[in-house]
Amino acid sequence: MPSLFIRYLPILTWGKTYNKSALTNDMVAALIVTIMLIPQSLAYALLAGLPPEAGLYASIAPILFYAIFGTSRALAVGPVAVVSLMTAAALGKIVDQGTAGYAVAALSLAFLSGSILLAMGVFRLGFVANFLSHPVIAGFITASGVLIATSQLKHILGIKGEGENLIDMVHGLITHISEVNFITLTIGVLATAFLFWVRKGLKPFLRKMGVVGTLADVLTKAGPVAGVVVTTLAVWLFGLADKGVAIVGAVPQSLPPLTMPSFSPELLKQLLLPAFLISIIGFVESISVAQTLAAKKRQRIDPDQELIGLGTANLGAAFTGGFPVTGGFSRSVVNFDAGAETPAAGAYTAVGLAIAAVALTPLIYFLPKATLAATIIVAVLSLVDFSILKRSWAYSKADFAAVLATIVLTLAMGVEIGVSAGVGLSILLHLYKSSKPHIAEVGLVPGTEHFRNILRHKVETTPSVVNLRIDESLYFANARFLEDRIYDRVARDKGVRHVVLQCCAINEIDLSALESLETINSRLSEMDVKLHLSEVKGPVMDVLKRAHFLSELTGKVYLSQFEAANALR
Amino acid sequence: MPSLFIRYLPILTWGKTYNKSALTNDMVAALIVTIMLIPQSLAYALLAGLPPEAGLYASIAPILFYAIFGTSRALAVGPVAVVSLMTAAALGKIVDQGTAGYAVAALSLAFLSGSILLAMGVFRLGFVANFLSHPVIAGFITASGVLIATSQLKHILGIKGEGENLIDMVHGLITHISEVNFITLTIGVLATAFLFWVRKGLKPFLRKMGVVGTLADVLTKAGPVAGVVVTTLAVWLFGLADKGVAIVGAVPQSLPPLTMPSFSPELLKQLLLPAFLISIIGFVESISVAQTLAAKKRQRIDPDQELIGLGTANLGAAFTGGFPVTGGFSRSVVNFDAGAETPAAGAYTAVGLAIAAVALTPLIYFLPKATLAATIIVAVLSLVDFSILKRSWAYSKADFAAVLATIVLTLAMGVEIGVSAGVGLSILLHLYKSSKPHIAEVGLVPGTEHFRNILRHKVETTPSVVNLRIDESLYFANARFLEDRIYDRVARDKGVRHVVLQCCAINEIDLSALESLETINSRLSEMDVKLHLSEVKGPVMDVLKRAHFLSELTGKVYLSQFEAANALR
């Protein structure tokens, strides 16, 4: 079955035409991404509550698996801020940070998340992610950014801290504020300021100095590495570790190890819901980056195959000492901008990081945690954008309510409750809205064949005929609403002899709605009123015919509302 | 505020015009309903696991409250089979049947249910009931009928039995089958056979005997009373109670007592979900009877006021020794057919039942429980109708899945899980369906201005223009689906320069969908493709204008698809 191979192994498609120019471009991109990823992956491991090397490991095997199974040419897979935060939140409830059980539970979480993604991909269940509405995601990412930045303040201040929500975190910081280590604070603040400058001011500065092109790009991406080098040297030279500055310490010099997640049913059960949420959030984040980048080159992203790519990447992380990963926004954009042409660039990045894991880890012994915290803070503050509140308020109150609930609950009660509440509320509000569809009583616009709302337009009506236009598909949640509206209208006005439903906006009628129509038909007949339909769509007509509704109908089905009006006048 | 009085007290409306003819008609109807209700209310108390008098009490105060607050002229409120079964299921988990705590918990359940209904009425939340789709209700009622009939077999057999689901019940019956009491079995089988004959054969028999009109009606309704009288006499005369035939025993001779439900927070918390389900199921059952009967006389039912009527009825039951009640189908139809003109008929029925509670209770000392069980079985078997499975299978697989899940889970796991699963599944299936809307690529039907699906019709197309008609409102669950479809189409065919979305079936665009449109617009622009819209509805256009989408749009908005095609050809 070669077609099946090609479907599930996108590498066969792009691998066929791989040439020297693609190789060069991919290598350059890989170099830039590798430099950028070293401090980032250490930092996200810290955020997830894991030893720093876990961040490197989580960037190696996953990136290779994604290169084989993923469909995006530029997506860079690895630890990302929001997923790392969710990992810490999920594990923090079950095991203590720093224990061996914690790292094993992280593997189990990656394993579960990978299995869920893979299953969703194979069974084509990617649509599940669609229930995360844009405003809910925007609110969730913003609130997560605030949580993540706050969670890192303890490293900048050199104090203890805890908590999975904003209230607990702030309370923890206040409790320990007297223990602040001023050397750590100085390093943290300077590193943060430097990294902000690298992000905003370095490129204009280089341009002023006459440095442009690829060199400028590499230097900009290497900026954070300079921060790492300088603060590490400072700690080493001045013996600051002995003065209370928390450092990374000994990191094993090794390729990613082969590891085994725990398959304890009790643990897997506790991790199932968090793993599901991590999978969905990670997938949504990843696919939107992938699609944005693919569009620029008119390439195709297959969402179901993306699930398989991310699923295998997470399984890779589970068996090589990592933790849950997904496609990251900033690294993918860097990869793309640096000219990556194929997923091979990811493979070269993996090689670069493997070299770093083997050769460079002794050099980061004195790397202060405050520098990693600064890296995280600068990265996530770009995610924080409260303008979604204003935007959704202006657009619709239902969307606003979902965003507000997501932000408030994420901050106050943590990521899992926050995002679940946002999704639940947006579904409920959608169901509520569609359960009260817009139904307009219409009349003929004089001199035309058009029917318009009698409340908005000057129209002609016939006293014995009620024309109702229903602006929604009919299904169980709104079927009874339609019944009520019709009985109301007919009971109020004893002169009514005909009800015509203009069905042009009805895309579907489910069995409940069909039974409601049958009930309306027979109850109207008891009242000596005939029910007619007009402008019924083809597929809806097929269904009504199949269910023998048309033979029960007391009135007729008219091709157009105008025809109905003429016949009944 | 007289209008508020009139809104919340429908009695003021019909009371004004109450006259002698209405009085006579109501009295006759009340007589027939009273005769019918005496054995029924005793039986439903048995089904709910309560002493028989509770059934009478639950029919007195509730009927009076409904007469004041309800909007249906003919609805008869009291204990009904399905709600009694749900009551037994809810209480059985918490307290043992036959204890004082059980009866008090039943009061609490009625109190909670009444409060929920009242609150839903005052806050106009009746739409919540709409999420119970017709097929789910049909499946639930059928499965409940099977459960109820099975639960009564133990009384017919004169053995012990237990269980809230079919498996446990059958297992219980098999375990105790050796203890079967053959006298009880004889009474039970004869009573069941007699009641079936009363239901099906008595009226034709009377007609053959020349008895017609009201007398025939009264005799038919009194049939079950004859069964009660004959079996009670048999037990008394032959001393069968000493031979192991279970009897009703001593029933207090009293008007409904003033009672106090328990307000223990622990108990109320446990009863909250069952009370909610009982409220919704009871409301749906009641409102559909009320609307069917009202339609026959072109009267109006106000669903929100019905909630208030049923809410006060249940509160009445809670404080007068009853249990949860609702509007019953068969008794309401009898009331209506017997000529009841106003809710006053209900009040007279209450008086009749109060007389029965005071005067007749000593007479039912020897009434065998098997007779009551027979009454229940005959009543509920008319509810059992598996044809909904066939009907829904033929109509749509989604509806069928929801029905099947409801029936199977109700039988296998009990009423609460069954109905919750049915509702949950139908919502999920609806969301799934609307998350994959029908999107047709359309082309011009030659010689017309109509655009039709290119797969179904011979149409003209322009290679550089893709016309897509979207047959669904756009919201978060289907926004990304649209994105995927469009990118797919455009990435496949490099010659495409214009995409036109025909929006005639789009009734709403939420913020997620708007952002998807913005993304589509900008990504298409990266691919050098222009996005156009056609046939946008007024309200949708308003929203797009307000959100400044139209100024970002790379293409134009056309009044009709034909106009768009002409401009882009």
A interface test, pick of B72, B127, B130, B471 with most A CB neighbours within 10 Å: B130
Residue with tokens 């033929």: B394
**Interchain pair A511, B392: CB under 8 A:** yes
Separation between Cα atoms, residue A329 and residue A344, nearest integer Å: 18
Nearest beta carbon to residue B491 from set A300, A434, A526: A300
Show the tokens assigned to B4: 């508020």
Q: Tokens for B402?
A: 């929801």
Residue contact A398–B472, C-beta within 8 A:
no
Distance in angstroms (rounded) separating the CA atoms of residues B339 and A299: 73
Binary contact (A511, B395; C-beta < 8 A):
yes
- Beta carbons of B547 and A480 less than 8 Å apart: no
Both tokens of residue A286? 């990843």
- Enumerate domains of chain A plus CATH numbers: 2-391 (no CATH), 392-435 (no CATH), 439-568 (3.30.750.24)
**B28 DSSP 8-state letter:** H
Q: Give the one of A135, A300, A303 whose C-beta lies nearest to B511's C-beta.
A: A135
A135 vs chain B: nearest CA distance in angstroms? 6
* The two structure tokens encoding residue B531: 């996005």
Measuring CA to CA, which residue among B283, B471, B133, B389 is closest to residue A511? B133
The encoded tokens of residue A52 equal 């720093």
What DSSP designation does B357 have?
I
Per-residue pLDDT, B3: 64
Exposed / middle / buried, residue A541 (Cβ in 10 Å: 0-12, 13-18, 19+) = middle
Which of B510, B518, B529, B531 should be substituted to probe chain A, the one whose Cβ sees the most A Cβ atoms within 10 Å?
Answer: B510
Residue in B136, B291, B430 closest to A487 by CB: B291
Q: At what angle do helices B20-47 and B213-237 cross, to 10 degrees?
A: 30
CA distance, residue A137 to nearest chain B CA (Å): 10
Query: Does B490 sit within 8 Å of A435, measured CB to CB?
Result: no
Pick the residue with more confidence: A497 or A133?
A: A497
Find the CB nearest A399 among B294, B490, B511. Answer: B511
**Closest chain A C-alpha to B129 CA, distance in angstroms:** 8
Q: How confident is the model at residue A282 (pLDDT cuts 50, 70, 90)?
A: very high
Residue A430 reports pLDDT greater than 80? yes
Dihedral sign, Cα of residue B50, residue B52, residue B57, residue B58 = positive
User: Which residues in chain A touch residue B134, judged by CB atoms under 8 angstroms apart?
Assistant: 476, 479, 511-512, 515-516
Across the strands, what pairs with B441? Answer: B468
Give CA–CA dist A222/A212, Å, rounded: 15
* Chain A residue nearest residue B516, CA to CA: A134
Q: Which runs of E-coded beta strand occur in A187-283? A: none
| Closest CA of chain A from B546, distance in Å | 8
> Of A440, A458, A437, A435, which is closest to residue A448 (Cα–Cα)?
A458
Chain A residues whose CB is inside 8 A of the B524 CB are 295
The Cα of B436 is separated from the nearest Cα of chain A by a number of Å equal to 8
Kind of pairing between the strands at B530-534 and B498-502: parallel
What confidence tier does A100 reach under pLDDT thresholds 50, 70, 90?
confident
Cα A270 from Cα A268, distance rounded (Å): 5
A134·B511 Cβ contact <8 A: yes
Give the number of other Cβ atoms within 10 Å of residue A540's Cβ.
17
- DSSP-derived 3-state class of residue B502: strand
Distance from C-alpha of A291 to C-alpha of A198, rounded to nearest angstrom: 28
Question: In a 3-state reduction of DSSP, which class is residue A462?
Answer: coil
Residues B11, B12, B13, B16, CA torsion sign:
positive
Q: What is the pLDDT of residues A374-403, one digit of tens each?
A: 988 988 888 898 998 998 898 888 889 999
- 3-class SS of residue B43: helix
ipTM of model: 0.77
Q: Which class for B476: exposed (0-12), middle (13-18), buried (19 or more C-beta within 10 A)?
A: buried
As a whole number of angstroms, the distance between CA A482 and CA B414 comes to: 32
Within 8 A by CB and 6+ apart from B466, the residues are B441, B489, B490, B493, B496, B498, B499, B500
Residue A558 has pLDDT above 80, yes or no: yes
Facing residue for A396 by CB, picked from B396, B399, B510: B510
Interface test with B, best of A280, A423, A476, A525 (most B CBs within 10 A): A476
Q: Which residues of B touch A548 (CB under 8 A)?
A: none
A430 and B510 in contact by Cβ < 8 A? yes
Contacts of A151 (CB under 8 A, 6+ apart): A47, A85, A88, A161, A163, A169
Q: Which of A72, A511, A519 to probe by mutation at the B interface, max B CB count within 10 Å?
A: A511
The two most distant CA atoms of chain A are separated, in Å, by: 97
Q: How far is B534 from chain A (nearest CA, A)?
A: 15
B508 to A433: CB separation less than 8 angstroms, yes or no:
yes
Burial class (CB in 10 A: 0-12, 13-18, 19+), A25: middle
Count the helix, strand and coil residues of chain A and give each as a percent rounded to the nearest 5: 65, 5, 25
Interface contact A131-B435, CB threshold 8 A: yes
A298 vs B294, B298, B527: nearest CB: B527
Percent above pLDDT 90 for chain A? 44
Whether the CB-CB separation of B181 and B370 falls below 8 Å is answered with: no
- Chain B CB contacts of A423 below 8 Å: none
Among residues of chain A, what percentage have pLDDT more than 70? 99
CA–CA gap between residue B375 and residue B372 (Å, rounded): 5
Beta-carbon separation of A477 and B130 below 8 A: yes
Cβ contact A131–B477 (<8 Å): yes
pLDDT in tens, chain B (569 residues): 456 676 777 777 777 778 888 888 888 889 888 988 888 899 999 999 999 999 999 999 999 999 999 988 889 999 999 999 999 999 988 888 878 889 999 999 999 999 999 999 999 888 888 888 888 888 999 999 999 999 999 999 989 887 888 999 999 999 998 999 999 999 999 999 999 998 888 888 888 888 877 788 778 878 888 898 999 999 999 999 889 899 988 888 889 999 999 999 999 999 999 999 999 999 988 988 888 888 788 777 888 899 999 999 999 999 999 999 999 888 898 888 888 888 889 899 999 999 989 988 888 899 999 999 998 898 888 889 899 899 889 888 888 999 999 999 999 998 888 988 988 888 888 888 888 888 889 999 888 877 888 888 888 899 999 999 998 889 888 888 898 889 888 888 888 999 999 998 888 898 889 988 998 999 899 889 999 999 888 888 988 988 889 999 999 999 888 889 899 98
Binary contact (A476, B430; C-beta < 8 A): yes
Q: Does B430 sit within 8 Å of A481, measured CB to CB?
A: no
Residue from the list A127, A399, A543 with its beta carbon closest to the beta carbon of B510: A399
No. of helices (H) and no. of strands (E), chain B: 24, 8
Spatial distance between the Cα atoms of A155 and B545, rounded to a whole number of angstroms: 47
**A96 burial type by CB count under 10 A (0-12 exposed, 13-18 middle, 19+ buried):** exposed
Predicted pLDDT at B1: 45
pLDDT attached to residue A142: 92
Q: B513: nearest CA in chain A?
A: A134
pLDDT at residue B77 in the model? 94
Under DSSP, the state recorded for A556 is: -
**Residues facing A500 on adjacent strands:** A467, A532
Alpha carbon distance A410, A421 (integer Å): 9
**Interchain pair A392, B437: CB under 8 A:** no
- CB spacing of A291 vs B472 below 8 angstroms: no
Predicted local distance difference test score (pLDDT) of residue B312: 96
Q: What angle do CA A74, A79, A81 make, to 5 degrees?
A: 105
Q: Do B132 and A476 touch (CB under 8 A)?
A: yes
Question: B439-444 and A439-444: which strand pairing?
Answer: unpaired
- The answer to whether B176 touches B355, Cβ cutoff 8 Å, is no
Contacts of B435 in chain A (CB under 8 A): 127, 130-131
Return the pLDDT at B2. Answer: 52
Of B116, B102, B51, the C-alpha closest to B79 is B51
Strands (E) in A100-202, as ranges, are none
The H or E element containing residue A485 is: helix A476-492
* Averaged confidence pLDDT in chain A: 89
> How far is Cα A88 from Cα A424, in angstroms, rounded to an integer?
23
- How far is residue B533's CA from residue A254's CA, in Å, rounded to a whole number? 57
Q: What type of residue is A10?
A: P
Q: What is the pLDDT of residue A529?
A: 93
Chain B contact set for A134 (CB, 8 A): 476, 479, 511-512, 515-516
Q: Among A293, A286, A289, which Cα is nearest to A339's?
A: A293
The shortest CB-CB distance from B300 to any of A134, A479, A491 is to A491
Mutate to test the interface with A, among B288, B385, B406, B512 (most CBs of A within 10 A): B512
- pLDDT at site A4: 66
Report the alpha-carbon distance of residue A482 to residue A485 in Å, rounded: 5
Q: Which residue has the tokens 């209310």?
A: B41
The residues that bridge with B77 in the sheet, in sequence order, are B327
CB pairs under 8 A between A and B: 186
Of B131, B487, B523, the CB nearest to A477: B131
Q: Cα(A386)–Cα(B555) distance, rounded to whole angstroms?
A: 30
Min Cα separation A474/chain B (Å) = 11
Inter-chain CB proximity B395 and A543 less than 8 Å: yes
Taking residues A359-371, report their average pLDDT.
90
Q: Which of A231-245, A341-355, B124-138 has the lowest mean pLDDT?
A: B124-138
- Separation in Å, CA A454 to CA A441, A459, A558, B539: 6, 6, 21, 16
So what's the pLDDT on residue A1? 45
Please give the residue of chain A at the shortest CA–CA distance from B483.
Answer: A291
DSSP codes of every residue in B448-480? SS-EEETTTS--B--TTEEEEEE-S-B-HHHHH
Q: Are B81 and B145 in contact (CB under 8 A)?
A: yes
Distance of CA A496 to the CA centre of its chain: 52
The pLDDT of residue B4 is 66
The pair of structure tokens assigned to B189 is: 């089988």
